[in-house]
């Protein structure tokens, strides 16, 4: 972990706990308080996902001209203001159009804050330890959304109710934002990154032009979408299935969600460190894409087949998914290194993929659930992870595309580890 940014990591953790408080129950809660059906609630989450996708793209480009610090302040302000409006005027009055409006606009908040800090990390951490530094970021990110956020809600709902729990999330957001931004206010890397003559429009254009100057970065963006699209999609239909249809109840469902992503946060660190040793692409393809193809199927079908008496099996299946989901962590180190002369543009496109997952996952669930049911949607997610495996094989660093030695050229017949960060001594 880059020591100058320790308070930033802590602030992101608290911020994402606040953001993740609602993840395990917001869809059915909106359905019962103004949205009328789970599908209509899914549409609200889909609109939210569109905002997340756009803000994720903007975060990388805006960090170039505004600096990560200012981008994070902007995200914090948007989240706080529009969450209060959502709770008061949308949920408070059970007004569906206002749900779409305020919850959607609030979606611009967390990507600007969290991914602004991710850009700060990639601009500060040494390349030889970039995978580890990114692993710490996702430790904080998924530690909050939805891991500790779900655990928090499981503890507070019995005392404060769901609406009171949602208000408590706003308090966590403000505390986390203050720690991250005040604690890191004088740390290097938080200011403007682009030359003075670069305008905001030019920075946004650079984040788009990388699509045709470095098409493999676009492939990486698609892999990043697939990475967490099923995670967001399952949060649309799994809450009611696991709590009601299987019979675990809301408390056990929220605890299961905390266990899934509690496992994930520790494996974020493990795969971050491991990827610096065995290769970023190898980790993504083997542990991430193939691993998730198996685990996402297991997570749905095994508990629904065995029923409520085998909660411990659901826990094991959830831990398996949480662990393999962390296999994608090195993509935030790999993609910027594929276009070293335009890291800002590559991070913008990568963040677009991260935000796109929050749109694509719920959209797939909302569109296909009425047609093929939960099992069919899960099989669609399985197919997406297999596509991600194939696409990951195309993600090569510049030196790999410029004629680096092959396995046949080396004395021991082993391919050099070119898809990993250089060692500390070679850097």
Residue 399 has pLDDT above 60, yes or no: yes
What is the pLDDT confidence band of residue 427, given thresholds at 50, 70 and 90?
Answer: very low
What is the pLDDT confidence band of residue 377, given thresholds at 50, 70 and 90?
Answer: very high
Residue 184 has pLDDT above 80, yes or no: no
State what percent of residues in the chain have pLDDT above 90.
53
Calculate the CA dihedral of residues 149, 155, 157, 158 and round it to 10 degrees.
Answer: 170
- In our burial notation (b when 16+ CB lie closer than 10 A, e otherwise), range 271-298 reads bbebbbebbbbbbbbbbbbbbbbebbbb
CA distance 300 to 302: 6
Q: Provide the pLDDT for residue 360.
A: 93
What is the pLDDT confidence band of residue 6, given thresholds at 50, 70 and 90?
Answer: confident
Count Cβ atoms within 10 A of the Cβ of residue 205 and give its class: 0-12 exposed, 13-18 middle, 19 or more buried: middle
Count Cβ atoms within 10 A of the Cβ of residue 358 and give its class: 0-12 exposed, 13-18 middle, 19 or more buried: buried
Residue 3 has pLDDT above 80, yes or no: no
Q: Provide the pLDDT for residue 302.
A: 96
Q: Average pLDDT in the 323-333 region?
A: 92
Residue 422 has pLDDT above 50, yes or no: no
State what percent of residues in the chain have pLDDT above 70.
92
Q: pLDDT tens for residues 39-64? A: 899 899 889 988 988 998 888 889 88
More confident position, 399 or 54: 54
């Amino acid at each position: 972990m880059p020591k100058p940014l320790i308070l930033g990591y802590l602030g992101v953790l608290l911020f994402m706990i606040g953001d993740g408080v609602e993840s395990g129950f917001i869809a059915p809660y909106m359905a019962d308080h103004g949205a009328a059906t789970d599908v209509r609630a899914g549409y609200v989450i889909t609109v939210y996902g569109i905002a997340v996708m756009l803000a994720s793209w903007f975060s990388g480009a805006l960090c170039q001209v505004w600096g990560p610090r200012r981008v994070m302040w902007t995200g914090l302000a948007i989240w706080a203001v529009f969450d209060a409006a959502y709770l008061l005027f949308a949920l408070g009055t059970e007004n569906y159009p206002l749900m779409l409006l305020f919850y959607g606009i609030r979606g611009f908040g967390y990507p600007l804050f969290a991914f602004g800090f991710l850009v700060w990390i990639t601009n500060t951490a040494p390349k030889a330890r970039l995978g580890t530094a990114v692993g710490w970021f996702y430790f904080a990110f998924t530690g909050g959304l939805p891991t500790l956020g779900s655990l928090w809600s499981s503890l507070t709902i019995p005392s404060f109710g769901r609406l009171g729990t949602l208000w408590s999330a706003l308090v966590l957001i403000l505390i986390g934002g203050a720690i991250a931004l005040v604690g890191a206010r004088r740390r290097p890397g938080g200011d403007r990154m682009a030359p003075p003559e670069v305008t905001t429009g030019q920075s946004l254009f650079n984040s788009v032009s990388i699509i045709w100057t470095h098409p493999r970065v676009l492939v990486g963006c698609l892999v990043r979408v697939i990475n967490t699209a099923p995670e967001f999609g399952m949060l649309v239909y799994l809450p009611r299935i696991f709590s009601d249809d299987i019979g675990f109840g809301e408390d056990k469902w929220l605890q299961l969600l905390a266990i899934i992503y509690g496992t994930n946060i520790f494996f974020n660190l493990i795969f971050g460190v491991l990827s610096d040793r065995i290769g970023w692409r190898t980790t993504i393809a083997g542990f991430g894409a193939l691993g998730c193809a198996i685990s996402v199927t297991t997570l749905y079908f095994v508990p629904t087949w065995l029923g409520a008496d085998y909660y411990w099996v659901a826990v094991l299946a959830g831990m398996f998914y949480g662990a393999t989901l962390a296999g994608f962590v090195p993509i935030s180190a790999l993609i910027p290194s594929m276009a070293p002369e335009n890291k800002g543009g590559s991070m913008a496109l990568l963040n677009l993929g991260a935000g796109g997952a929050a749109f694509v996952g719920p959209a797939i669930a909302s569109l296909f659930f009425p047609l093929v049911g939960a099992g069919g949607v899960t099989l669609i997610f399985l197919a997406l992870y297999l596509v991600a495996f194939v696409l990951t094989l195309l993600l090569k660093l510049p030196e790999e595309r410029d004629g680096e030695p092959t396995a046949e050229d080396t004395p021991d017949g082993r391919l050099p580890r070119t898809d990993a960060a250089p060692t500390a001594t070679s850097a």
